[in-house]
Amino acid sequence: MGYSPKVNSGYELKIKTKLSSAYCIVTTETVKEKLAGILDTHLSN
């Protein structure tokens, strides 16, 4: 059983820490760009 076409055409974000991993499905280009900006800002500090 698969996911919907919207999910299948999206991106999977995987955040790894020392103890665990978290996964998030990003379904739109807009959200992908917003997340990229947030992560870039956070990682550059």
Q: What are phi and psi of 20, to 5 degrees?
A: -160, 180
d(CA 45, CA 42): 6
Q: 9, 26 in Cβ contact below 8 A?
A: no
d(CA 35, CA 13): 10
Q: Would you state the pLDDT for residue 37?
A: 94
pTM over 0.85: no
Q: Would you state the pLDDT for residue 2?
A: 65
Q: Is the pLDDT of residue 10 over 90?
A: no
Mean confidence (pLDDT) of the chain: 88
Rounded to 5 degrees, what angle do the CA atoms 2, 32, 6 make?
Answer: 25
Q: Would you state the pLDDT for residue 26?
A: 92
Rounded to an integer, the average pLDDT of 16-24 is 93
**What share of the chain has pLDDT > 90, as a percent?**
49
Structure tokens at 5: 């076409």
